[in-house]
Amino acid sequence: MQLFRHWIEATTTITIDGVPTEITCYGHSNDSLDDARENAREQAASIEKKISDGRGAVGEYDVAVREEIIEVIDSRNIVSRNRYGALVLNSESVVFIDIDEPRLGLWEWLFGRRGRTKKQKIRDMIEKRIAQGDYTQLAFRLYETRAGMRLVVDGQDIPPQSDESRNLLRAFNCDPLYAMLCVRQQSYRARLTPKPYRMRLKGTRIHYPRNADDEQSTQTWVADYDNASARFATCKFVKAFGRQSRSDIIQYHDNMTRAHEAMKLA
């Protein structure tokens, strides 16, 4: 999982076309700040070499998620706070698929049941895919979200980098960007708490790592966010398919999202 406990913002001087130039790198490590500082130096040296070799400063996509770790559930499941303040479950062991658009064949577009809402179309698509031979051996849990539906694979460990994962996410019309990030970040992600603007809460941008001045304002905002979040759910449980495992991670997800409570979705 590309999620790190220690981060440091380091300003380093490199040489570009013979001119000393300051750049900022974010070093990361799961061991110590000293290791994070060394990682920042390595990044700076790599950027300098790429420029010297004529390849430019932009290298491969930075796969590390620069978010504050809020809770370590176990070695394969970690909760972080994303850039707009919501808590996110990063999981290597449970597949989470948020689906905001249906994938319908031409026949369904032309002759499918009219008057269905977008969520109904997504649900019909999901149930049809689950009934297909490729997925009848899996157990699923279906949830309603504010924008669409969330599908969780229950009791089956599917590595995010595997062909099985890619095919599964594609079959259920998962956002291609999310599917790509699952591979590169080596984990699935599920938002646990509401989006601020859906609660009419003034938004913010959560920086990490952050300085002492940012820390105070961030903690003040988080307190307001937590108070507002108490009145909303992030998703609502709809239906289970197949034999359920009752895994601790899924129960944690359901508790944090208030999936079984009668609350407005946000």
Q: Is the pLDDT of residue 60 over 60?
A: no
Q: Is the pLDDT of residue 90 over 90?
A: yes
C-alpha 143/C-alpha 130 separation (Å) is 14
HSE-CB at 196 with a 13 A cutoff on CA atoms is: 19
Burial class (CB in 10 A: 0-12, 13-18, 19+), 147: middle
HSE-CB at 25 with a 13 A cutoff on CA atoms is: 23
What does the pLDDT look like over 192-227, one tens digit per residue?
999 999 999 999 999 999 888 899 999 999 999 999
Residue that wins the pLDDT comparison between 49 and 200: 200
Which helix (H) or strand (E) covers residue 41, if one does?
Answer: helix 33-52
Q: Using 50, 70 and 90 to split pLDDT, how confident is the model at 114?
A: low
Of 45-59, 91-105, 214-228, give the range with the top mean pLDDT: 214-228
Least confidently predicted of 10-14, 48-52, 152-156:
48-52
Range 96-119 average pLDDT: 73
Q: Is the pLDDT of residue 251 over 90?
A: yes
Q: Is the pLDDT of residue 107 over 80?
A: no
Q: Which residues of 218-252 are buried (b: 16+ CB within 10 A; e: fewer)?
A: beebbeebeebbeebbbbbbbeebbeeeeeebbeb
Range 247-253 average pLDDT: 96
Are 260 and 238 within 8 A, CB to CB? no
Q: Is the pLDDT of residue 128 over 60?
A: yes
Q: Is the pLDDT of residue 95 over 50?
A: yes
* Confidence at residue 112, expressed as pLDDT on a 0 to 100 scale: 56
Give the tokens for residue 168. Answer: 């599964």
Q: Is the pLDDT of residue 57 over 80?
A: no
Range 49-57 average pLDDT: 73
C-alpha 160/C-alpha 164 separation (Å) is 8
Q: Is the pLDDT of residue 61 over 60?
A: no
C-alpha 226/C-alpha 228 separation (Å) is 5
What does the pLDDT look like over 151-179, one tens digit per residue?
999 989 999 999 999 999 999 999 999 99
Least confidently predicted of 54-68, 114-128, 206-220:
54-68
pTM of the prediction? 0.88
Range 218-244 average pLDDT: 96
C-alpha 166/C-alpha 248 separation (Å) is 25
Residue that wins the pLDDT comparison between 252 and 117: 252
Q: Is the pLDDT of residue 75 over 70?
A: yes
* Confidence at residue 124, expressed as pLDDT on a 0 to 100 scale: 92
